Amino acid sequence: MTKFIGLIGYPIKHSVSPYFQQAALDSYHLDIRYEAWETSPEKLEAVVTGLREPRNLGANVTVPYKEAVLPLLDEVDDLAGLIGAVNTIVKRDNRLLGFNTDAHGFLEGLRQEGHFDPEGKRVVVLGAGGAARAVCFALVREKVSSLIIINRTPVRAETLAETLRSYIGDSSPSLYSGLRPAGSEGLSTEVITLPGQNLSSGETFTHCHLIVNCTSVGMKHSPQESKSPFDIEVIPPGVLVYDLVYNPYPTRLLELAGKAGANILGGLAMLVYQGAASFELWTGKKAPVDIMLDKARKVLIGGKR
């Protein structure tokens, strides 16, 4: 019997995941179809419940449901619980388990394609939504020395910073180590928030090694498609600018960063590496990352969507 994996989101007509996931499944000759299941809000519960049907193996979850699916699942893994978002559902013994592979995808992209080791580095993160939460937890767990979070809506940045600080604080020596959140031992990142106006000041970025754009500014098909979250004058040469926006490539931000003498990394790496981790959770097989990257690049360049 053919099995199915779905992509649950709304809207998802521009998604690249069905192409590179199917290429990965086909490379193993698996009788599995990866399908885009565009799901309106009132159908979300029924679609997630439908995953219990024998033909379904699981799903990816994307905007805007990464938070909304949590209460619909039987179990949520520690990291997904901390981030508060699930992007991968796996059915095991008819139980629906939720994972977050975005944090892993972000780090793998950073290491494999950006050749960047985050430990001890100073980082500026733009945004405070679901993607920023995954990125910030990933960076704190990798022991960056400082993290500046800047968001259009400052209260969201402060809420995220508080969550991170209490996670880090829980890692200080305690008699009750059994109560610590998983994997939080020995963390010490300094977490700071700044208002959006600071994006126009070079001081914000002085001494930083990595800038990550987790906002949707610059995204294709959005009103900000040709915009950059900040100007060329504030970008220090030699910094790595990682834009999670993968379409278009390069984004306006990456164009400016390149001109400023910075190193640049687009969001395709994160997209493919999070998908590779999901593939391994569903199939138990090693993800053919090269095939997935190649397919994703071809689809984007070819503009097939």
Identify which of residues 27 and 198 has a Cβ nearer to ligand ATR in the complex.
Answer: 198
Identify which of residues 24 and 265 has a Cβ nearer to ligand ATR in the complex.
Answer: 265
Which among 3, 13, 43, 66 is annotated as catalytic? 66
Which element (helix H / strand E) includes 242? strand 240-243
66 is catalytic: yes
In sequence order, which residues have a C-beta less than 8 Å from that of residue 57 and are 6 or more positions away? 3, 4, 5, 32, 90, 91, 282
> What is the C-alpha to C-alpha distance for residues 260 and 213, in angstroms, rounded to an integer?
16
Which strands, in side-by-side order, build the sheet including 146-151? 190-195, 146-151, 122-126, 210-213, 240-243, 263-265
Tokens read off for 240: 């790595």
Handedness of CA 153, 157, 163, 166 (dihedral sign): negative
130 binds ligand ATR (CB under 6 A): yes
Q: Mask: binding to ligand ATR, 53-72, rule CB under 6 A, as x and -?
A: ----------x---------
Nearest approach, Cβ of residue 191 and ligand ATR (Å): 16
Identify whether the C-beta of residue 268 lies closer than 8 Å to the C-beta of residue 243: no
Q: Restricting to residues 198-227, name those near ligand ATR by CB under 6 A.
A: 214-217, 224
Strands 146-151 and 122-126 turn out to be: parallel
Among the listed ranges 28-36, 71-79, 121-129, 247-255, the one in contact with ligand ATR (CB under 6 A) is 121-129
Among the listed ranges 126-134, 169-177, 245-253, 256-264, the one in contact with ligand ATR (CB under 6 A) is 126-134
Nearest approach, Cβ of residue 228 and ligand ATR (Å): 11
Q: Mask: binding to ligand ATR, 141-160, rule CB under 6 A, as x and -?
A: ----------xxx--x----
* Torsion angles phi and psi, residue 102, rounded to 5: -65, -40
9 binds ligand ATR (CB under 6 A): no
171 binds ligand ATR (CB under 6 A): no
Tokens read off for 101: 């592979």
Active site residue ranges = 66
Residues that bind ligand ATR (CB under 6 A): 63, 127-132, 151-153, 156, 214-217, 224
